[in-house]
């Protein structure tokens, strides 16, 4: 659990840094283009990369905080025991899905080791890295939820936390 806490803290700080970079990059481009008349060639690509990074890295934080959007109404009508089993099934299938995403990312990286991005010439493993790491973290968080639900032996009142 101590390792998980360290990972979660690192994810939060990295997500903050990526959000800051996402805000600053277009501003830097406007300044360079409008004031100094020297547009930054890779600014758009960099901003897109930060967006990819933020989405996949922070996704596990969203899962941890209960922020994955879902519709709970119909599940609420199911009796407790089958509902508990359904929640276990959802979490198990979630862990498998994110594992598939993670494997897909590593397979894609393996097949494109020599490739680079168009403008910034980022190596492909770096470009695809947030997806590989993010899916791995998502799988871990979903497994943590699965263990938690298993130990409770009864269903949880799941609510989407929006803000």
Partner 1 sequence: MEGFLVVLAFLGLFMLGFPVVLAIGIPCVVYIFANGLPIDLVAQRTLYALDSFPLVAVPVFLFVGSLMNSAGISRYIYQFADTAVGRMPGGLAQVNIFGSLIFAGMSGSALADIGGLGRIEIDAMRKKGFSGPFAAAVTSSSAIVGPIFPPSIPLIIYGTVTGVSVIQLLLGGIVPGLLCVAMLMLMTWWLAHRRKYPRAARWPTRAELWRDFKPAFPAIVAPVILIAGMLLGWFTPTEIASVTVLYAMLISSLFYRELTWKGVLDAAYETIRASAGILLIVAVAALFGWILSVESVPQMLTGIMLSISTNPYVLLMLVNVLLIVVGMFLDSTTAILVIAPIIAKPLVAAGVDPVHLGMVVVFNLMIGLLTPPMGLALFLVADIAKVTMKDVLREMAPYYIPLGITLLLITYVPQITTWIPRIALGS
Which residues would be at the binding site for partner 1 (CB under 8 A)? 12, 15-16, 19-20, 22-27, 29-30, 34, 44, 47-48, 50-52, 54-56, 58-59, 61-62, 65, 67-75, 86-87, 90, 93-94, 97, 100-101, 103-105, 107-108, 111, 127-128, 131, 158-163
Closer residue to partner 1 in complex, CB, 34/79: 34
Residue 5 C-alpha from the chain's centroid: 17
Q: Any residues with CB less than 8 A from the CB of 32 and at least 6 apart, and which?
A: 38, 39, 40, 43
Q: From the CB of 27, what's the least distance to partner 1, in Å?
A: 5
Integer Cα distance of 13 and 11 in angstroms: 6
Q: From the CB of 136, what's the least distance to partner 1, in Å?
A: 13
Closer residue to partner 1 in complex, CB, 111/150: 111
Please give the backbone phi and psi of residue 63, each rounded to the nearest 5 degrees, phi first: -60, -45
Q: From the CB of 41, what's the least distance to partner 1, in Å?
A: 14
Q: From the CB of 45, what's the least distance to partner 1, in Å?
A: 9
Element (H, E) at 53: helix 43-64
Residue 122 C-alpha from the chain's centroid: 20
Closer residue to partner 1 in complex, CB, 65/81: 65
CA neighbor of 158 nearest in space, from 59, 69, 85: 69
Closer residue to partner 1 in complex, CB, 50/140: 50
């Amino acid at each position: 659990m101590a390792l998980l806490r360290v990972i979660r803290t690192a994810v939060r700080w990295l997500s903050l840094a990526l959000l800051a970079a996402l805000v600053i990059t277009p501003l830097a481009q406007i300044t360079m283009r409008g004031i100094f008349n020297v547009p930054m060639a890779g600014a758009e690509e960099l901003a897109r990369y930060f967006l990819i990074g933020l989405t996949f890295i922070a996704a596990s934080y969203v899962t941890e905080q209960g922020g994955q959007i879902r519709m709970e109404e119909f599940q609420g009508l199911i009796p407790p025991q089958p509902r508990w089993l359904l929640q276990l099934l959802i979490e198990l299938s979630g862990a498998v899905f994110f594992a598939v995403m993670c494997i897909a990312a590593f397979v894609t990286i393996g097949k494109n080791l020599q490739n680079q991005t168009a403008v910034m010439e980022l190596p492909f493993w770096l470009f695809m890295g947030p997806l590989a790491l993010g899916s791995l973290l998502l799988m871990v968080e979903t497994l943590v939820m699965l263990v938690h639900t298993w130990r409770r032996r009864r269903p949880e009142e799941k609510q989407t936390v929006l803000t």
